[in-house]
Each structure stands twice: as structure tokens, then as C-alpha cells.
A and B are shown apart, each in its own frame.
Chain A
Amino acid sequence: MRHATTLATFPYLAGTARALEAVPGAASEIRILAAGGQSGESIQQGYINPFTARTGIKVVREDITSTPLGKLRAMVESGRIDAVLLEIGGAGLAQAVALNLVQPLRWNEVEPAPMFPEARHSHGLGYQYYSLAPTWRSDAKAIADWRDFWDVQKFPGRRSLPDVPYLSLPIALLADGVAPQDLYPIDLNRAFASLARIKSHVAVWWASGAQAPQLMADNEVQYAAAFSGRVVGNPRYGTTFNQALLNLSYLVIPRGAADNHRIAANRLLREFTLPQNQAEAAKVVAYTGNSPALDELLPKDRLHQFPTTRENRARQVLPNDAYWQANALSVEKRWQQFKLGL
């Protein structure tokens, strides 16, 4: 803990011509598989660059698809651990733990700075918060929450929702008037009944986060559930954090990773808990890190754009990953049945 505090106080110590910090027993190069695009760039700028400057350890970053479980399973089962760190969503983390694909994090080796509690998972470090928010084209009537999203009389237009039950079922319940604290366990009958009401207005069930803003830009749909970082601050869209789903993306270490890679990875994980680094990352993409001390470091005029500021956080709903771990497969089947109209 003491060590982390020192680094937090002098974040760019090693950036000057000082001696490199020694990390005993660490590999000289590690690989990380994480989301690409702006999010990947924010990892590079915010965390990898300061890490390499401080320790001299090289980090090779590679892009990964939105569902990395197949890749993770292939790595672990073949015993060839290509990458020591892997980015995975909350539901994916729950499944990876259930399938015994990831190793418990040694938090005593990570020595994190203070973090939000849900980001400190037994098997993963939650590094980036992102919101799935009610969003509209700026020339459509503004909506206040998912209830309005469902109200096609008052807010006419085509909709787009994620082709992901993990996201669309909580939205359907919130739209139906379920209070955030009563969401879990999911009342599947009620959720699917709510979805059935909006189904004929959903032009596209999107499969990747990039689709939602594009569909609105192309005027294919007027309202969409979109990831906040892709739409906030863009005059083409309006968006609100009311009832938005606050998601957390985790970094995990695959089971069977070599010791020297794990040691280096744990040192890199500490960088992900430092608020100064998180502020740098938030300059690249409007998603925020796990430090409760981050608000003060963010630009005041853009504070309303970030998912975890005190004001925005209170209006949102966190997922219950234990529920999804137990039910992901059966819910997915019912989801497919629903979409196919069985």
C-alpha cells in the first residue's frame, strides 16, 4: 500500500531520467488482450505508457472481440497462455470463474490504491466503467429514461437494443417500472413481456457497440441503447444517465500463466488503480476508472459526461454478476426463442 501511495504522489517519476523501478522476478515483456479503438488507446496512454516508463517492462497490446471467452478457453485448454492479461465483461468474468479459466488475483502482490468495492473482484480487477444509456438522435424528441424509450406513442421512431440479454433484460424491467434494487433475480416472464411490447419497434438488435451510434447517424433508428463513451459530447446525439446500466470491464489472468508474467501483470494492474493514470485514460475515452478519488482530477466542464461521477453513479444500475453466472446459458436460450418468435 505504501508503495502505491508513493507512485500516486509522483506519477511521472520514472518519466524523467530517473532509475527504473525494479520488479523482482518479472518478465521483460508481457501481452495484454483488450478492446481496441479508443478504449484500447486509453489503456495505452493511461496505463501502459507510464508502466513501461517506470519499470522498463514492455507491454504488447492486442485487440480482442467483445466475447473473448472462446479465446480464453482455447488458451487455457491448450496450455499456451499467449497473453497474461485479458479484458472481459462482468458476465464473462462470472462464466470464466465458473469454468475455472482464470486464476484468483493476488491482491497483496497488486497493492492497489483505494478502489470502488465492486472493482475489486476475487478473480478480476474492474478497470473501466462504461454506461449503456438511453440515447436519441438530436432531431428526435428527447427521452428521460427507459420508460420513455418504451413509450412509442409519445416518442415515435424506430429503436435499437443490444442483442445481449445481459443488457436488454434489465432495461426491459426498468422500462416496466421495476425499481433498480428489485431487478435481481430477473423476473424473466415480466422482462420478456415488456420486451414483447417494444419488439415490433426494434429495427435492429445490435451485436457490437459501434452499431448503435452508426444506426442513429444513418437515421435507421431514432432511439438506441448506446454506450455512453461513443455518444457523450457529440452534438448529433442526446443521451442521459438516468436508469443507465453501469457496466464494469475487468482484467483477468488466465489459469496457467507463467509466474514471471503474472508478477509483471500484477505490477501493471496497480497502474490501473492510480487516479492520475485514470484521468489520463479519461482524456482519450469518456469512460472512467475505479478510483473514488478520480472526480477531482477530471475536467470540471466535462464532469457530466463520465459514468462514475458522484451524480451520475447514483442514477445508474449495476449488474448482479452472480445471477448471470448461474443463469447465462438458460437465459440465452430463452432470448433466442424470444427473438425467433417461438
Chain B
Amino acid sequence: MRGFADARNPTDAVPAPMPGPRLLPRLNGAGRWLPAGLGFVLPLLALMFVAFNLPMLGMLGRSVALPDFSFAHYAELIQSDIYVKVILSTVQIALIATLVCALLGYPLAYWMRGLSPGAQLAALAMIVIPFWVSVLIRTYAWIILLGNAGILNGTLRMLGLVDEPVLFLYNRVGVTIGIVNVLLPFLVLPLFASMVRLDERLLQAARSLGASEATAFWRVFFPLTVPALAAGSLLVFIMTLGFYVTPMILGGGRVPMLVNMLDLLVNGMPDWNLAAAISVFLLAVTLVLYALSRRLTGRATG
């Protein structure tokens, strides 16, 4: 087999090992089969392997250990209505948050596209700067804004629009607002990038062929931005699945999400095998969605 491969692709042949230790891989010539600069990333790779990949393998092992090999934890996960319900609730919130992000983010990106370069920079800064504020602080800030004695309810009451304070917090509304606030940039930035790259002449061509502004948008512009919109939405969806702090603070214990359940199983019970099974499930869902998002992104940029 080896000889056959060598014969077909002689230039890809594996070089004979060099005598003595070699600290850095050769970057060209016969060493081409090694990625350039591998030596520089080796420490990081080793760290990732020890600190991340190995424990993850351990987690995989735990999820099928009772301690003997068994799928009992997965069976419990599927058969118990609590875990299924928490998973469904998490998916539901992720869908809502994604939809809200898309509905808010798309017009925002579209509006930014039409701005002058200077104004675009200012708009981008306003979207990116909140990134530098801790998620915890941003989440607590919503309590000050949206609480019963908060700024928004105070204003609504002052204007005479409501008699009783509106319950924004400690329900799904509050959790969704918190999540959208954190994740909106993840949708807006790639979407904006794809819109800016879009060739303006396509729209001009559509208009010159008699399409109205609306027709040109819906039949030319929008379809071309769908891949970026879908990729950004998937990213938001995946990240929502892993949210912990926001539902913890803004959910009031009434909005169950998967990672909060994991916290209980890991630290409270502590039932690590079941927690491992749920983590593996979450990882599998995320990987499938990530693969999907990669395909979409590939299409968006390719």
C-alpha cells in the first residue's frame, strides 16, 4: 500500500527521519508535509490536549460508566421528562433569542451599510464597545433598567401608561433580553461584513431592468445575504445553548436552561455521570450545528 502511494505521488513521500533530535520542523523542501511553524504552536497544542482534550475524553468515558460500561445515563436522560423538558425549554429560548437577534440585527446591519465610512466606524464602535464590559455587569444592569422599581417601569408609570409595574424580569422576557444584548454583535458583525462586500452594481442592474427598490431588495440583495444571516443565526443559537449567567440572574429560578441544570448536577448532587451524558449530548448537538454553520459560512464567503 505504502509503495503504491509513493509511486503515485512521489513528491508527497514521507522523508526519512533525520538523525538526532530536531526541535523545529523543516519549513520547506522534504519537510513540506508538516504545517509551517508547527514548532511554535506545539506548546499551545500540548496545553490544549492536556487541559481540554484529555478531560473531554474523561467526560466521554464518565458518560458511559456506571462504573461499568453502560448507556444507563443516556437512558435516564431520554426517559426522564425533566431533562427532556429542560432541553426543549433551552432550545425554545435559543430559537426565540436567535429570531429576535435576526429581526433586530438585520435592519441594523442594513442601515449601517448605507452610512458614510466615518459613521460606519462610529456605529461599529458602539456595537463592539459593550463587548469590553463583563457579561455579569451587563446582566445586572438590566435589573436596574427593567426591575419593578427600575428606570423603564418608573418612566412608564410617570407617563401614565401603566398602573402596575410591567414584569420584564424573572421570566422568559428578561432572559431573552439579556441573551440578545450579549449576542447581537455576533450576528451583526458577520452580516455587516457580508453586506459591505456585496457588489452594488448587482442592485443597479436590477433597478435598470425595471425592478422597484423593494423587488431589488427581496429578489437580489436579501437572497445574497441569507447565507451570512443563517451562519450568524446559527452562531447565536449555539451560544445560547451554553448560557449560564444570564438565566441565573434574570430568570429568577423560573426559566430552566441546560447549563444551570448541569451546575446543579455537577456541584449540588453531585451526579457527574449524568452531567457527563448531558454534556456529551450538548456537545454533539453543538458540533452538528457548527458543521452546518461552517457549510453556510463557506457558501457565504466562497
Are B147 and A70 in touch, CB under 8 angstroms? no
Per the bound structure, the CA–CA distance linking A328 and B269 in Å amounts to 8
Smallest CB gap from A341: residue in B: B85
- How many positions in chain A have a CB within 8 Å of any CB in the partner chain? 27
- B112 CB within 8 Å of chain A: no
| Contact residues of A between 192 and 220, Cβ < 8 Å to B | 203-207, 218-220
- Residue interface bits B82-94, CB-to-A below 8 A is 1, else 0: 1001100100000
Given contacts A73-B272, A163-B253, A203-B252, contact A65 B267 (CB under 8 A): yes
- A336 CB within 8 Å of chain B: yes
- B185 CB within 8 Å of chain A: no
Are B267 and A69 in touch, CB under 8 angstroms? yes
- Residue interface bits A1-19, CB-to-B below 8 A is 1, else 0: 0000000000000000000
Cross-chain contact of B170 among A68, A204, A340 (Cβ < 8 A): A204
Per the bound structure, the CA–CA distance linking A95 and B170 in Å amounts to 31
Name the B residues within 8 Å of A206 (CB-CB).
252-253
Name the A residues within 8 Å of B82 (CB-CB).
333, 336-337, 340, 342
Are A218 and B149 in touch, CB under 8 angstroms? yes
Most chain B beta-carbon contacts within 10 A, residue among A65, A69, A163, A336: A336
Cross-chain contact of B267 among A71, A328, A336 (Cβ < 8 A): A71
- Residue interface bits A218-258, CB-to-B below 8 A is 1, else 0: 11100000000000000000000000000000000000000
Given contacts A73-B272, A329-B271, contact A219 B148 (CB under 8 A): yes
- B296 CB within 8 Å of chain A: no
- B157 CB within 8 Å of chain A: no
Are B267 and A342 in touch, CB under 8 angstroms? no
- Residue interface bits B165-193, CB-to-A below 8 A is 1, else 0: 00101100000000000000000000000
Are B269 and A329 in touch, CB under 8 angstroms? yes
Query: In angstroms, how far is the closest chain B Cβ from the Cβ of A136?
Result: 16
Are A342 and B81 in touch, CB under 8 angstroms? yes
Per the bound structure, the CA–CA distance linking A2 and B252 in Å amounts to 51
Are B253 and A339 in touch, CB under 8 angstroms? yes
Name the B residues within 8 Å of A99 (CB-CB).
270
| Contact residues of B between 231 and 280, Cβ < 8 Å to A | 248, 252-254, 256, 261, 264, 266-272
- A100 CB within 8 Å of chain B: no
Are A205 and B86 in touch, CB under 8 angstroms? no
Are B148 and A220 in touch, CB under 8 angstroms? yes
Query: In angstroms, how far is the closest chain A Cβ from the Cβ of B277?
Result: 15
Smallest CB gap from A160: residue in B: B252
Are A67 and B252 in touch, CB under 8 angstroms? no
Per the bound structure, the CA–CA distance linking A339 and B257 in Å amounts to 12
- B229 CB within 8 Å of chain A: no
Are A340 and B253 in touch, CB under 8 angstroms? no
Query: In angstroms, how far is the closest chain A Cβ from the Cβ of B254?
Result: 6
Per the bound structure, the CA–CA distance linking A218 and B143 in Å amounts to 9
- B9 CB within 8 Å of chain A: no
Smallest CB gap from B82: residue in A: A336
Name the A residues within 8 Å of B256 (CB-CB).
336, 339-340
- B80 CB within 8 Å of chain A: yes
Query: In angstroms, how far is the closest chain A Cβ from the Cβ of B249?
Result: 9
Task: Please name 21 pairs of A and B residues whose Cβ atoms are closer than 8 Å in the assembled complex, sorted by A.
Answer: A65-B267, A69-B268, A69-B269, A73-B270, A99-B270, A163-B253, A203-B252, A204-B170, A207-B248, A218-B148, A218-B149, A220-B147, A220-B148, A220-B169, A220-B170, A332-B264, A332-B268, A332-B269, A333-B82, A336-B256, A337-B81
State the A residues within 8 Å of B (CB): 65, 67-71, 73, 95, 99, 163, 203-207, 218-220, 328-329, 332-333, 336-337, 339-340, 342
